[in-house]
Structure 1
Amino acid sequence: MGARDVIDVLVVDDHAVVRRGLSVYLESADGIRVVAEAANGREALERLRRLAVQRRLPQVVLMDVLMPEMDGISAIGAVVADFPDVRVVVLTSFGEIERVHAALRAGAAGYLLKDADPDEVAAAIRVAARGEVHLDPAVAGRLTRRLVGPPTGLDALTSRERTVLALVARGLSNRRIADELYISERTARTHVSHVLTKLQLSSRTQAALVAIREGLIPLPIR
Structure 2
Amino acid sequence: MSSLSSFPALEALKSTLEQIILDPSYHDLLAVVKGARNGAVYGAKVRFPHALVMVFLFRPGTLQQKVSLVFRATRTHAANLARFAVVYKLTCFLLKQYGATPGKSGHYDSMLAGLLGGYVVFGGRSKRSGKIPSVNQQIVIYVFARVVLALARLAVKPEGGTGLPFVSREGISGAITKYAWPVFAATSWALVMHIFKHHPDELQPSLRSSMTYIYQQSEHWDSLRNFVWHNK
- Compute the TM-score of the two structures, normalised by the length of structure 2: 0.25
Larger relative contact order (CA 8 Å, sep ≥ 6): 1
Write 1 or 2 for the structure with the bigger share of helix. 2
Which structure is larger by alpha-carbon Rg, 1 or 2?
2
- Compute the TM-score of the two structures, normalised by the length of structure 1: 0.26
